[in-house]
């Protein structure tokens, strides 16, 4: 139960219209309670009413880098999850890990190609709607891509790490 003791986790959620679905809110409350019981300091970071989700993620990433948090979890505002799934992400032992869920389409598809297993699988790309990463990952990305630094609207340094997914 103490695997997360001393960790500082930032749960970050951009929202195009400032709305958070009922399933999201219930999942968030239960996740915050579970992580607190496991010894985490948890902060909920949100960026409502931002129509450019990639920009919102980049700004939230910059705020994470400027903080003292150890881990960041991105969760989209229109999904629900089991709180233990966030724990699985945080205790995976990986610097970057994603949980996948069904896309909101008529045909059941996922945000990556998978074999149906529930184990960790390496992929070449994945949607960011349910991901976790460490401070070490964030610092490696900044070091590897210094050309992606930009100055945000508020004059703070941010990073254009998250680019929009474009289907061709």
Q: Among residues of the chain, what percentage have pLDDT more than 70? A: 81
Only one residue has tokens 């799934």, namely 85
Token code pair at residue 112 = 């990556």
Average pLDDT over residues 40-58: 92
pLDDT the model gives residue 135:
97
Q: Is the pLDDT of residue 108 over 90?
A: no
CA-wise closest residue to 9 among 49, 29, 39: 39
Average pLDDT over residues 107-128: 64
Nearest-angstrom CA–CA distance, 135 and 55: 20
Chain centre distance of CA 28: 13
Q: Is the pLDDT of residue 166 over 50?
A: no
pLDDT the model gives residue 23:
95
Please report which confidence band the pLDDT of residue 81 belongs to, taking 50, 70 and 90 as the band edges: very high
pLDDT the model gives residue 124:
67
Q: Is the pLDDT of residue 168 over 60?
A: no
């Amino acid at each position: 139960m103490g695997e997360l003791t001393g960790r500082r986790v930032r749960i970050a959620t951009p929202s195009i219209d400032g709305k958070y679905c009922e399933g999201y809110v219930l999942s968030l409350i239960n996740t915050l309670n579970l992580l607190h019981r496991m010894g985490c300091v948890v902060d909920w970071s949100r960026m409502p009413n931002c129509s450019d989700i990639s920009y919102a993620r980049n700004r939230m990433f910059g705020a994470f880098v400027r903080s003292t948090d150890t881990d960041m979890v991105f969760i989209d505002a229109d999904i629900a999850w089991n709180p233990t799934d966030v724990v699985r992400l945080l205790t995976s032992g990986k610097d970057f890990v994603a949980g996948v869920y069904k896309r909101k389409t008529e045909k059941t598809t996922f945000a990556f190609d998978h074999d149906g297993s529930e184990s960790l699988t390496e992929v070449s790309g994945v949607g960011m709607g349910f991901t976790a990463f460490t401070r070490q990952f964030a610092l490696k990305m900044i070091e590897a891509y210094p050309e992606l630094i930009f100055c945000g609207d508020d004059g703070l340094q941010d990073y254009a790490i998250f680019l929009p997914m474009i289907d061709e």
